[in-house]
Structure 1
Amino acid sequence: MTERPYADASSRVSKSASSTGLEVHVGSMPFALDKELLASKSAKVVALLKENSNADLSCLLHDIPADSDTFELVARFCHGYAIHMSSENIVPLICLSFHLGMDENHCNDNLLSKAVTFFEQRVLPSWNEIIKALRSSEKSLQQMMQLGLFDACLQAMIAKASDNPQHLGERITVSRNDGDGGDKPNAKRRLFALDWQEDLTTLSLQLYEPIIYTMKQHEIPLEYISASIYRYAKKWIFCCSGGRETVSIYKRRYQRNVIETLEKLLPHGRELLPCSLFFEMLRFAIELEASSGCRNGFEIRIGKQLDQAKVKDLLIPSQGYTKDVQYDIECIRRILKAFYGNYDSSDASGFIKVAELMEEFLAAVACDASLVIDTFISLAEMSMAAALGTKRNSDGTYRAIDIYLEKHAYLTEKEKEQVCKVLDFRKMSAEACEHATKNERLPVRVVVQVLFMAQLQLRETLVRAAYDDDKTGKEDEEEEEVRLEMEKMSIKVKELEKDCHEMKKEITNGSNRQRLNKGKLSLWSEMKRKFGCSTNMDDLHCPTKKKKVHPKWSII
């Protein structure tokens, strides 16, 4: 059959009424249908006609869960016209055809089977088509969940993300040089990409939340999940946020729900995102008056990598109704507590970096002319506490106090003394003490204390120098004694070598004489044997022996 053109809304209404004609309004759009053709494809229409033969069918179909475009596709199919299926209309089409009972139990040539086949063959194999289908199905979300369409999309997405996690978008790396990081996509990769990658962040929160939650359970790399969550916050909160006066209460409520949901989805690992991005999300959570659990979650994540933060990250303005406190001191205190509570490295460089960070932060806020004394003192105490155990001097704190006194020249002598109470003079270097003794901004009492500490340091230096000299003298004497002992030992060794040489010589000469004497004795023994003399030394006195005559041979 040829496709019937639908130029406008009026063309959908039949101009000639008939006994089988039916007019249905979907939304504000009228449709002229044939009851018999509609019943041949829909089991629900058949059931309605049997139960209400005399009733107006248009009244019974007023609750159709679809928009006018989707119902038009169904009407065209029932009247024998070709329909165009796409990723954008396939999910609502499946839901409506299921609602009307347009399945194989009612008709072999049914719309539901055709739509499901298209969904399985054309949508599920492609990441981009799945995103398009989900994005266009938000109005029929409940039906999609009930029919299992969402689960099918979810399983297909997990399989694709497991093979290639870049479907979620590129990672946001933590820069070691400046620590700022940021959402900086790879331009080269984008340039040579074969097709555009549909972004998961374009989905509504109702769809995005279960997708990310399930991906975390299936061990998709957390750095990709974290990057996707940040980009979602950037799209739905950061880029469309304004002051309290410009944003409606309903939009603020929605944004608050988004930031609280994203905080629950965020993994708790270290270095999954740059520290500055966590601070950005924390600021919006505070501005949107998110729950304490949400703010605390961001503070804990920041605390785990506070050693990567910058001074500008800590400049969190106070959101209280009073303007006496310019910065959120308690928030910074909780972040520091989270850092020390979660730092498990044996390397102390993290503590040193945080101590330096707090000193730089204190110097930065000291330039604020509106910073009250109590706020500055609280921050200075936190800075001094952060430096404990790092063997750092108090020069950084002294520099911040000097800046604060310079920017607040109107302070009284008593107020200046109150500011300087946090300074530990014992940990000031000699250069800092020398500068402080000439600093006219410091109170007189503080200058006296600095002079006293300088005298103590000078005395300790002199004592240490004298001790070192004495120790050096003793070491020289010990070295001289060792040298003399070594010389004595060397002489003794030489004497022993000489004695050993003499003994060896004597032993050699004695061996030669012994061999000569042995030779002589052997010759004499041989001669005695020939002469029949005994070899006994006692017999050497008798040169010969008388020959014995056997009695048998004796002469009578």
Structure 2
Amino acid sequence: MSMKEDGLLIASALSDVQINVHGVHFRLKKKLLVAKSAKLAKLLEKNQHEDISHLLPDIPGDSQTFELAAKFFYGHELNLSAENVIPLACLAHYLEMTDDFSPNNLYDRCLSFMEQWVFPSWNESIKAFQSTELVIRQALELGLINSCLDSIVSKAISKPDLLGKPIKNPMDGDSGDGKNGYYPSARRRLYVPDWKQDQLITLTLQHYLFVMTAMIHKGIQSEYITGCLLRYLEKWVYCVVGGVGLPLHKKREVIEQVEKLLPDERELVPFKYLSEMLRSAITLQASLDCRNRLEIRMGKKLNEATVVDLLIPSQGYAREEKYDTECIGRIVKSFYANYNSSDSAELVGVTELIEEFLSEVASDVALKKDTFISLAEMAIATSLGIQRNTDGIYRAIDIYLGKHGYLTETEREEVCRVLDCHKMSQEAREHARQNERLPLRVVVQVLYVGHLQLRDAIANGDMLDSYGRCQRVEGGENAVVGVDRDNHSQGTAASEEELLRAEMKDMDDRVMELEKECCRMRIEMEKSGGGSHSVVKKKGSMWKQLKRKFGCIRNSMHECNCQVKKKKVHPKNCA
């Protein structure tokens, strides 16, 4: 076989040594080899008439690297570059092509080229480091890996934005003129740099971990480390525009390793990035430790989340529910386990967030009753110690009952058991009075609570706030709820009070009659078995008549969509 390139011709007629390098055969002149390589000189001296390929089993580099060495043997000009100089240096050292054996030899020329043209440059240092993939063991032994790392890290220490801009936290507003979610650098440029921000993230995972571990060890600012790590995920895991696809097991390894390197500072990684990481970790079936650590990180920053951030899809064929509610439960627990601030604003924000999340998942037709109740109890627990009404809980219950019209009366009562009617606002209680989705028992309770609060307000001279609690006003028993004494006369106040007392008495009678009617309907249902369609239809009709009778439904609502009337038994019982 012969080799020809750039005017180089090594003909078999003139060559007397054959070397096989990774499946490619080279026939070279013995005289030229022994003049430059001490190793080949020793081998050829002992094996003058044999193929010595089997004596070079672990030759570093590939066939292209050996082809460059062959050019050097024949005295042709070398085209050294950052991409080929380290593999060629490893090969030259393996073949003992040093100045100790022959002046101006290949190994020393490679070292000189790296010192002059590679290590002074950020980009060239990264290219050279990336080229060590096939010769990483030899490069480590020769110290070339450390030389590349020292070059890269030293430049990053003096100019950390070589790693790219820090990630901008959306909670901090739109300060600065950064694009794509990155902060602009405030550091003045002292020179025109020879670098690209995305050069570092082109490294393979093994090489990238080498660099980032060294940078963390040297104490480079955490915000730059974080930004670089997240951009690496975008390129290799999320496959954004211009990204590179990887096999799933490789993506899983990337996300696990990047999560380990993320700094622990709470403020560095925005919640939306953590949420995206957790989604990917779940999809890629990352290790349990990785997912647990991500949930803990998210828990510490839960006050920054939006409802969309919490809508993590369920995984697995056995999961019927649309969203992973168990995961959110663990994140909420993590928030409270790590919360130590004296400012209640974060608690209020998290409470509102969980209530919004509850309303969002309530529309999932596959959400089980017990799961919804558990989430509702968690939402209520987050509001403990905070002056907050239960309107958000009521809204979620209303949505859930609307999407799960097949629930029986008993099951709907179980769902509503988490609702504290005493903490509902007047507007919510007014809505509940006319809500045909609610069980009769709950409507009675709402009416009764409204009656009690109205009676107490009149008796004590108080007025109700939006939480359904009493606030005292001046005037004692002569005061009237909602009446501005500065704008009304005493006679008008007395007249209003009489009207309110009359309304209170009328409500007493209506509540008592409603309770009796509710009990009578229960007895009828129990006698009839409670399972036939006729009973369901009759009950729906009685429910409408009952509500209309007590003023809980207006004539304009006759055409409203009544969930109770539509369906009263489980689908599994309708077969």
- State the TM-score, normalized to the length of structure 2: 0.74
Specify the SS of the correspondent of 2:247. helix
- What is the CA-CA distance between 1:174 and the residue it aligns to? 0.4
Question: Which residue pairs with 2:293 in the alignment?
Answer: 297
Q: Distance in 2 between matches of 1:338 and 1:368?
A: 25
Q: Distance in 2 between matches of 1:88 and 1:113?
A: 17
Is 1:44 matched up with 2:31?
A: no
- What is the CA-CA distance between 1:440 and the residue it aligns to? 1.5
Change (3 A) 1:216 1:472: farther
Q: Distance in 2 between matches of 1:419 and 1:262?
A: 42
- What is the CA-CA distance between 1:397 and the residue it aligns to? 0.8
Question: Which residue pairs with 1:325 in the alignment?
Answer: 321
Q: Distance in 2 between matches of 1:461 and 1:43?
A: 104
Specify the SS of the correspondent of 1:359. helix
Aligned pairs for 1:70-469 (under 5 A) are: 70-176=65-171, 183-184=180-181, 197=196, 198-239=198-239, 251-465=247-461, 468-469=473-474
Specify the SS of the correspondent of 1:96. helix
Q: Which runs of 5+ in 2 are unaligned?
A: 463-471, 479-575
- What is the CA-CA distance between 1:125 and the residue it aligns to? 1.1
- What is the CA-CA distance between 1:471 and the residue it aligns to? 7.2
The residue type equivalent to 1:6 in the other structure is E
Contact 1:324 / 1:372 at 8 angstroms: preserved in 2? Answer: no
Contact 1:42 / 1:101 at 8 angstroms: preserved in 2? Answer: yes
Contact 2:351 / 2:382 at 8 angstroms: preserved in 1? Answer: yes
Aligned residue pair count: 456
- What is the CA-CA distance between 1:356 and the residue it aligns to? 0.7
Specify the SS of the correspondent of 1:442. coil
Q: Which runs of 5+ in 1 are unaligned?
A: 242-246, 474-556
Contact 2:321 / 2:364 at 8 angstroms: preserved in 1? Answer: no
Specify the SS of the correspondent of 1:25. strand
Specify the SS of the correspondent of 1:339. helix
Specify the SS of the correspondent of 1:403. helix
* Alpha-carbon RMSD: 2.8
Identity %: 47
Q: Distance in 2 between matches of 1:188 and 1:340?
A: 35
Specify the SS of the correspondent of 1:257. helix
Change (3 A) 1:183 1:144: farther
Q: Distance in 1 between matches of 2:225 and 2:185?
A: 22
Question: Which residue pairs with 1:6 in the alignment?
Answer: 5
Specify the SS of the correspondent of 1:112. helix
The residue type equivalent to 2:446 in the other structure is V
Moved over 3 A (4+): 50-55, 181-189, 192-196, 466-473
- What is the CA-CA distance between 1:433 and the residue it aligns to? 1.4
Larger radius of gyration: 1
Q: Distance in 2 between matches of 1:397 and 1:37?
A: 87
Cα shift readout 1:317-346 (whole Å, capped 9, x = no counterpart): 222431333322221111111111222322
Aligned pairs for 1:474-493 (under 5 A) are: none
Specify the SS of the correspondent of 1:88. coil
The residue type equivalent to 1:215 in the other structure is M
Question: Which residue pairs with 1:551 in the alignment?
Answer: none
The residue type equivalent to 1:26 in the other structure is V
Q: Distance in 2 between matches of 1:32 and 1:430?
A: 95
Q: Distance in 2 between matches of 1:446 and 1:119?
A: 81
- What is the CA-CA distance between 1:176 and the residue it aligns to? 2.5
Q: Distance in 2 between matches of 1:5 and 1:291?
A: 52
Specify the SS of the correspondent of 1:176. helix
- What is the CA-CA distance between 1:84 and the residue it aligns to? 1.1
Q: Distance in 1 between matches of 2:232 and 2:386?
A: 40
Contact 1:359 / 1:383 at 8 angstroms: preserved in 2? Answer: yes
